[in-house]
């Protein structure tokens, strides 16, 4: 302990780190009993020096893996110039990042915040204000999808289609209707002239890596716009290279009225964005919405460096190629272990393996073998590795998973 009674960094074991956290942190998150102290590329090291290959990447966040040198250099360079002045003023990094994102997406306006949930909150306020302004307050309802996930703030959780996440937080935001993801008939019935927006993910991440069916998003846009509503796409997880394109909406032949981004935008640094058309964005006039740290020079300078690298065509092509290879290996697993695996699915490097057995015990066995993966939706293993993952690293994971599934089959 230091003179002030605070433990010095870099001197604790895994057990000591966990004990310290358990004494002082809220118990609102169920954490695995792992404590990481450093990382590089796909590798993470725990406090005892054991190495793991990370196929979660901070939940689809660390696009360039852990501790890329250029991130430290960019942060240090900007920190020596200007860190924060609040959004009461203009700064060059904010201006340049806004220009880059609007040109890349084809949208017109940007609001910067700090997290994906905040980006979705801004989208909700924008859509509801837009609908209200255009209808004398009648067009305020929101249509979302079952099994969706949009964040943990009150607005975001209100449009998240998972009832277990609502427990204890009622009353939620009123005026929200949930429809089955991919069901156009139900969507058509739900959207009328009282709806301000249809709020969807191109691929449901927490919902089990479930891509939207072909034609669904394009038709959803038609249904919404024909009734005066907006299409909002939550690309906090799917955006910025994750699916092998700049934005996942490219795969589906549609451009949204509002788009939300996070995760890879900062690769671990807190920064997010809500993009919109001019028409949608005009709803949020001066004083209608803000955040103290949104668009700070440190965040936007880093994000500009990151997205410039991610959206380089050669980089996206490599992500697409590696994703195809990874999906192919998972499909081989499905064919090899049909009793345990139902299907492999996803786009780019956002992939899921739907099991016929609970996924959490399989994920735990992978952790024991040195691979960090995520179990979601009960029976799905989610793979969202750094976008720099190599075929050789994929092979190591798939071979380990194959051995685990084989052992599971023998145990039965």
The domain total for the chain is: 2
Confidence check: pLDDT of 337 > 70: yes
pLDDT of amino acid 305? 98
Closest CA to 384 of 148, 29, 63: 63
Question: Of 310, 340, 375, which residue sits at a domain end?
Answer: 310
**Residue 151 and residue 157 in contact, taking contact as beta carbons nearer than 8 Å:** yes
If asked whether residues 262 and 276 sit together in one domain, one would say yes
Domain housing 378: 14-25+32-67+313-411
Task: Give a yes or no: residue 72 inside a domain.
Answer: no
pLDDT of amino acid 395? 98
Question: Of 242, 276, 310, which residue sits at a domain end?
Answer: 310
Which CATH number does the domain housing residue 397 bear? Answer: 3.90.1150.10
Strand intervals (E) in 348-412: 350-355, 371-372, 374-376, 380-383
Active site residue 263: yes
If asked whether residues 88 and 170 sit together in one domain, one would say yes
Residues 46-64 have pLDDT tens digits of 999 999 999 999 999 999 9
If asked whether residues 357 and 332 sit together in one domain, one would say yes
Task: Give a yes or no: residue 272 inside a domain.
Answer: yes
Please enumerate in sequence order all residues whose Cβ is within 8 A of that of 380, keeping only pairs 6 or more positions apart, or say none: 208, 209, 352, 353, 354, 355, 359
Confidence check: pLDDT of 408 > 90: no
pTM for this model (two decimals):
0.95
pLDDT of amino acid 1? 41
Read off the pLDDT of each residue in 95-110 and give the average, rounded to a whole number: 98
If asked whether residues 289 and 384 sit together in one domain, one would say no
Cα–Cα distances in angstroms (integers) from residue 376 to residues 69, 98, 185, 380, 406, in the given order: 32, 33, 27, 5, 21
pLDDT of amino acid 2? 44
Can you read off the two tokens belonging to residue 341?
A: 């695996």
Give Cα 133 distance to the centre of its chain: 30
Q: What are phi and psi of 312, to 5 degrees?
A: -60, 125
Distance CA 405, CA 408 (A): 5
Residues 279-323 have pLDDT tens digits of 999 999 999 999 999 999 999 999 999 999 999 999 999 999 999
Alpha helix (H) residue ranges in 1-152? 14-24, 57-60, 69-79, 92-105, 116-135
> Which listed residue (55, 64, 234, 365) is catalytic?
234
If asked whether residues 287 and 367 sit together in one domain, one would say no
Give Cα 157 distance to the centre of its chain: 15
Confidence check: pLDDT of 409 > 90: no
If asked whether residues 125 and 44 sit together in one domain, one would say no
Residues 145-165 have pLDDT tens digits of 999 999 999 999 999 999 999
Task: Give a yes or no: residue 74 inside a domain.
Answer: no
If asked whether residues 300 and 345 sit together in one domain, one would say no
Q: Considering the chain, what percentage of its residues have pLDDT values greater than 70?
A: 97
Distance CA 100, CA 92 (A): 12
If asked whether residues 178 and 141 sit together in one domain, one would say yes
Cα–Cα distances in angstroms (integers) from residue 251 to residues 114, 208, 211, 247, 386, in the given order: 27, 19, 10, 8, 21
Question: Of 278, 310, 342, which residue sits at a domain end?
Answer: 310
If asked whether residues 173 and 276 sit together in one domain, one would say yes
**Residue 351 and residue 344 in contact, taking contact as beta carbons nearer than 8 Å:** yes
Confidence check: pLDDT of 171 > 60: yes
171 upstream amide cis, omega within 30 of 0: yes
Instruction: Count CB neighbours of 407 within 10 A.
Output: 10
> Which listed residue (129, 263, 354, 365) is catalytic?
263
Q: What are phi and psi of 129, to 5 degrees?
A: -65, -40
In the Cβ-directed half-sphere of 282, how many Cα atoms lie within 13 Å? 4
Which CATH number does the domain housing residue 272 bear? Answer: 3.40.640.10
If asked whether residues 290 and 371 sit together in one domain, one would say no
Burial label for 147, CB within 10 Å (0-12, 13-18, 19+), is middle
Distance CA 352, CA 57 (A): 15
Confidence check: pLDDT of 45 > 60: yes
Task: Give a yes or no: residue 335 inside a domain.
Answer: yes
In the Cβ-directed half-sphere of 42, how many Cα atoms lie within 13 Å? 23
Q: How confident is the model at residue 5 (pLDDT cuts 50, 70, 90)?
A: low
Task: Give a yes or no: residue 5 inside a domain.
Answer: no
pLDDT of amino acid 9? 59
Higher-pLDDT residue of 243 and 29 is 243
**Residue 217 and residue 233 in contact, taking contact as beta carbons nearer than 8 Å:** yes
Task: Give a yes or no: residue 296 inside a domain.
Answer: yes
Look at residue 364 and give its three-state secondary structure: helix
Give, in degrees to the nearest 5, the angle at Cα 47 between 44 and 53.
20
If asked whether residues 214 and 271 sit together in one domain, one would say yes
Task: Give a yes or no: residue 52 inside a domain.
Answer: yes
Confidence check: pLDDT of 6 > 70: no
Confidence check: pLDDT of 400 > 50: yes
pLDDT of amino acid 347? 98
What mean pLDDT is reported for the chain?
96
> Which listed residue (55, 64, 149, 249) is catalytic?
149
The distance between the two most distant Cα atoms of the chain, rounded to a whole number of Å, is 66
Active site residue 70: no
Active site residue 149: yes
Task: Give a yes or no: residue 178 inside a domain.
Answer: yes
If asked whether residues 352 and 217 sit together in one domain, one would say no
DSSP 254-302: ---SEEEE-GGGTTTS--EEEEE-HHHHTTS-TTS---TTTT-HHHHHH
């Amino acid at each position: 302990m230091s003179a002030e009674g605070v433990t010095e960094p870099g001197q604790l074991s895994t057990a000591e780190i966990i004990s310290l956290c358990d004494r002082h942190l809220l118990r609102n998150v169920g954490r695995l009993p792992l404590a990481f102290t450093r990382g590089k590329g796909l590798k993470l090291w725990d406090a005892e020096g054991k190495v793991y290959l990370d196929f979660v990447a901070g939940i689809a966040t660390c696009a360039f893996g852990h501790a890329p040198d250029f991130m430290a250099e960019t942060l240090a360079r900007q920190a020596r110039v200007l860190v924060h002045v609040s959004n009461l003023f203009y700064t060059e990094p904010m201006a340049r990042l806004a220009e880059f994102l609007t040109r890349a997406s084809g949208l017109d306006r940007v609001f910067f915040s700090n997290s994906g949930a905040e980006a979705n909150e801004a989208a909700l306020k924008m859509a509801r204000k837009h609908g209200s302004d255009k209808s004398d307050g009648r067009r305020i309802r929101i249509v979302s999808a079952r099994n969706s996930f949009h964040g943990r703030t009150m607005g975001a959780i209100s449009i998240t289609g998972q009832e277990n996440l609502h427990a204890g937080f009622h009353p939620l935001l009123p005026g929200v209707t949930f429809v089955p993801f991919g069901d156009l008939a139900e969507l058509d019935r739900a959207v009328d002239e009282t709806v301000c927006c249809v709020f969807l993910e191109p691929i449901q991440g927490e919902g089990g890596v479930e891509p939207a069916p072909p034609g669904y998003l394009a038709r959803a846009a038609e249904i919404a716009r024909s009734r005066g509503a907006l299409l909002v796409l939550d690309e906090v997880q799917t955006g910025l290279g994750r699916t092998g394109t700049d934005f996942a909406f490219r795969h589906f032949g549609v451009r949204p009225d509002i788009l939300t981004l996070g995760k890879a935008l900062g690769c671990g640094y807190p920064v997010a964005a809500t993009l919109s058309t001019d028409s949608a964005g005009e709803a949020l006039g001066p004083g209608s919405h803000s955040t103290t740290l949104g668009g700070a020079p440190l965040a936007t300078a880093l994000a500009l460096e990151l997205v410039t690298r991610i959206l380089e065509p050669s980089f996206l092509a490599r992500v697409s190629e590696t994703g195809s290879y990874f999906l192919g290996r998972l499909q081989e697993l499905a064919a090899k272990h049909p009793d345990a695996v139902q299907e492999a699915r996803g786009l780019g490097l956002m992939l899921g393996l739907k099991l016929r057995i609970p996924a959490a015990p399989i994920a735990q066995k992978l952790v024991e073998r040195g691979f960090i993966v995520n179990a979601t939706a009960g029976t799905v293993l989610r793979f969202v590795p750094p976008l720099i993952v190599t075929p050789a690293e994929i092979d190591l994971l798939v071979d380990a998973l194959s051995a685990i599934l084989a052992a599971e089959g023998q145990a039965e």
